[in-house]
Structure formats: C-alpha cells, structure tokens
Structure 1
C-alpha cells in the first residue's frame, strides 16, 4: 500500500457517507459502538466537531442539484436550468420573507414588553401609598 492510498481512504469514506446523508453517519456511528466502542465515540466526536450532527442545512442546500447530466434535448435542458434557477430565487426570497416576518414578530414582542415594563414603572406601588 502506498502512502497516498492510506491517506485517501478516510476522505473516500467521508465522501461516501456524505453522499448518503446524516442517516448513514448515524448508522456508521452505531456500528462503530457495536464493533469497538472507542470507534463509535470517535465517529460521534467527529460528527459533532464537523457540525454534521446538529446541522440545520440539508445536503441539497449545501450542494444544490443543478442537473449536470444532459437529457439530450437542448430545449428541455434550457427550460430545466431556467426553472431550477427560478425556484432557487423563489426559495431565497421566501427565506428572506420568513426572516423579515420573524424580525417583525420579535420587534412587536419586544415593544410590548417595553410598554408593559414602562406601565409597571409608572404605576404607584401599594407600599408607597401608605
């Protein structure tokens, strides 16, 4: 075995597991615990360290599918590329809308909190009236 093949097999395994997603990583971790518990612990630590365990992003978002294979029909390929581009733009616009909506809701809740707090501060307390 050469040094190149020894150093490349972990990256090949990682790429293979990444193609199959988080469930493949979890299965690998469980098998690691069953076969040799330090191996399972090492996989778990790697998943947490590389943010594969708690990542909110999906594989599609990290590596969007652009249909790299041609169908052989140039008109269809152009339509597909345009549709995928449009859908990605719509998704970005919708995510921006959701962000603005959350920010508006947070601002409304914060303004209400500050208003309640100011009202409480202006109201005379019972022990001050005596």
Structure 2
C-alpha cells in the first residue's frame, strides 16, 4: 500500500522550474492566459500552498466573522421550535412574496403604459413633422 502511494506521489508535477512545468505554463498561456498564470503561480508558490491553506483555516477558526456567518446561515430560515411562530412567519413570508409579485406586475403594466405613451408622443411628433414638411414643400412649389 505504501509503495503505491509513493508511486502515485512521484508521478505528480512538482512546483519547480522543470521542462514539463515550463511547457504546461506556455501551453496554458497559449490556450487561455489565466491557465498559464495559474501554472506560473503553482511553479513559484506551489510548495507553500498547503501551508497557506492551513494558515487560512486557522485564521478563519479564530475569526469573529465565522460566528456571524454561521449565525446568519442557521437563523435565516431555521425553525425556532415554536410552531405557532414558525407558521406565522411562513404565512407572512408567503404574503410578502405575493405582494412582491403584485408590485412586479404593476411595474410591468406601468412600463407598458409609458412605452405606449412614448410611442404616441413620437407618432404625434412625426405626424406634425410630415404636415410641416408637406406645407413647406407646397409653399415652394407655388410661384410668386
């Protein structure tokens, strides 16, 4: 078992300046530049990735933000244990969603109304332009 694990580890690409890693970096830049950039980062800092990941996890464990995020995730839609309150909250959320849907419908209707109003105003301006154009060409056509 240890022998297969050692063999598998020896087949991995090491983060160093070897012909294989340089070739992969160049191919990455040719294919899609972020891939080449990722390979370059792996060559330069790949041996430190594991330590950086461990340090980040340690910092997150002691972070006050972790508790805030966990509290938001657990309390957002979690049941409180009080059935009456949970039912009330679900009814109110459903009512608010229905109100939101009504408001969205009214907004769409108002947008349609404004669009029609603009179209009517544009049509009126166009008709006025055509009437003035016809008058001005008609005046020029009659000799003095």
TM-score interval, normalised by the smaller of the two chains: 0.3 to 0.5
Q: What's the TM-score, normalizing by structure 1?
A: 0.47
Q: What's the TM-score, normalizing by structure 2?
A: 0.43
